[in-house]
């Protein structure tokens, strides 16, 4: 169904764990605790090709901003954008400045939170099979995603979510082969297990502009 909707040129949002949200507690006027709306604009299924300035990442930020702009939520929540940084990044500080500039241009008031994740991405290389042919890798782009990596991503997000009200995650595209759909859904389930109420988003069409 996800693939069908994307093939129709429509944006997709999947929600999980919202039955666990205690909205009354979050928005209670006498509650002085500050909650967060978190955005993780990285394609965890394909991190090397992820683009924080791409359509899906911008759509994530827009949806999170809309929620944060609701008057009752604005008083109780703050918006955070997480940047996954590793030793392979050429200039993480420059990337942070670029993101800060982009948020300013889009009039998005958010705190940028760099998160080291070398200990997570190393699991991709460690779990990749040397015996797998290039043809198999092309057919199944999920083949490099082992449990160590997926559990690491889950732990990374979960570890930053103590006071999180809602988490927005990048929804990767489904694999091209229907035979791998079950594995795709299994990985989505695994990566979001135990998280706060989560919205997984994939954007097709541009939804933001700086020409205002």
To the question of pTM greater than 0.75 for the whole model, the response is yes
Asked if residue 21 lies in contact with residue 165, where contact means CB atoms within 8 angstroms, the answer is yes
Q: Quick one: which of 151, 154, 132, 152 has its CA closest to 143?
A: 132
Look up residue 72 and give its two tokens.
């009752």
Per 3-state DSSP, what percentage of the chain is helix, strand, and coil (rounded to 5)? 45, 20, 40
Reported as a single tens digit per residue, the pLDDT across 47-60 is: 988 888 899 999 99
Domain regions of the chain by residue span: 2-202
Asked if residue 139 lies in contact with residue 177, where contact means CB atoms within 8 angstroms, the answer is yes
pLDDT for the residue numbered 48: 84
Asked if residue 143 lies in contact with residue 129, where contact means CB atoms within 8 angstroms, the answer is yes
Orientation angle between helical segments 181-192 and 147-159, nearest 10 degrees: 30
Q: Quick one: which of 171, 176, 169 has its CA closest to 204?
A: 171
| Ranges under pLDDT 70 in the chain | 125-140, 206-212
Beta sheet of 164-170, edge-to-edge order: 12-16, 198-202, 164-170, 35-40, 77-85, 111-116
CA atoms 200, 1, 187, 194: torsion sign? positive
Q: Provide φ and ψ at 12, rounded to 5°.
A: -125, 135
């Amino acid at each position: 169904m996800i693939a069908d909707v994307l093939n129709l040129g429509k944006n997709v949002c999947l929600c999980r764990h919202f039955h666990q949200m205690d909205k009354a507690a979050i928005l209670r006027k006498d509650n002085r605790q500050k909650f967060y709306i978190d955005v993780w604009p990285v394609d965890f299924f394909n991190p090397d090709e992820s683009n924080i300035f791409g359509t899906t990442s911008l759509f994530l930020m827009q949806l999170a901003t809309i929620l944060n702009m609701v008057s009752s939520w604005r008083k109780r929540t703050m918006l955070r954008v997480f940047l996954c940084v590793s030793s392979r990044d050429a200039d993480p500080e420059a990337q942070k400045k670029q993101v800060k500039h982009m948020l300013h241009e889009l009039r998005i008031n958010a705190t940028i939170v760099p998160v080291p994740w070398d200990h997570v991405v190393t699991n991709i290389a460690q779990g990749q099979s040397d015996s797998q042919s290039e043809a198999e890798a092309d057919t199944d782009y999920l083949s490099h995603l082992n449990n160590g990596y997926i559990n690491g991503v889950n732990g990374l997000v979960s570890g930053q979510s103590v006071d999180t009200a809602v988490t927005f995650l990048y929804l990767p595209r489904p694999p091209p082969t229907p035979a791998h759909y079950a594995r795709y859904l299994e990985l989505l389930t695994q990566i979001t297990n135990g998280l706060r109420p989560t919205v997984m988003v994939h954007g097709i069409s541009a939804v933001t502009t700086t020409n205002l």
